[in-house]
Amino acid sequence: AQKVTQAQTEISVVEKEDVTLDCVYETRDTTYYLFWYKQPPSGELVFLIRRNSFDEQNEISGRYSWNFQKSTSSFNFTITASQVVDSAVYFCALDPYSSNTGKLIFGQGTTLQVKP
């Protein structure tokens, strides 16, 4: 099965707290790509990061960091020192290389609320 699970439906934190959004995926492909998107209240999804299955290096971009672990099929996203502007729905997505279609398999999304 090809599937993405974001078990956390909603998370609420107070500004400046660190928060981790979990993403677990299933795929039979050995080559695949994982993505994170942010959907602010305006509705448009914004691309955050792409990771291929052969690159397990963690990545940091400002306050954002991603932890990719093939052993646990997880691709978790951490926001350090959260801000109110981080409030959004965050989606994890999978693109199995074998599909040759660019079709993304999305998780259900995690709604993050950052309170001042």
Partner 1 sequence: DGGITQSPKYLFRKEGQNVTLSCEQNLNHDAMYWYRQDPGQGLRLIYYSQIVNDFQKGDIAEGYSVSREKKESFPLTVTSAQKNPTAFYLCASSIDGRLAYNEQFFGPGTRLTVL
- The answer to whether residues 112 and 18 touch, using CB atoms and an 8 Å cutoff, is no
By CB under 8 A, how many residues form the interface with partner 1?
Answer: 29
DSSP-derived secondary structure letter, 73: T
* Residue 109 touching partner 1 (CB under 8 A): yes
* Residue 45 touching partner 1 (CB under 8 A): yes
**Residue 12 token pair:** 């609420």
Closest distance to partner 1 from the beta carbon of 74 (Å): 17
Residues 6+ away with beta carbon under 8 Å from 61: 49
Distance in angstroms (rounded) separating the CA atoms of residues 78 and 22: 9
* Residue 52 touching partner 1 (CB under 8 A): yes
* Residue 43 touching partner 1 (CB under 8 A): yes
- The answer to whether residues 95 and 35 touch, using CB atoms and an 8 Å cutoff, is yes
Closest distance to partner 1 from the beta carbon of 99 (Å): 7
Closest distance to partner 1 from the beta carbon of 5 (Å): 10
List residues binding partner 1 (CB under 8 A).
6, 9, 31-33, 35, 37, 42-47, 50, 52, 91, 95-97, 99-104, 106-109
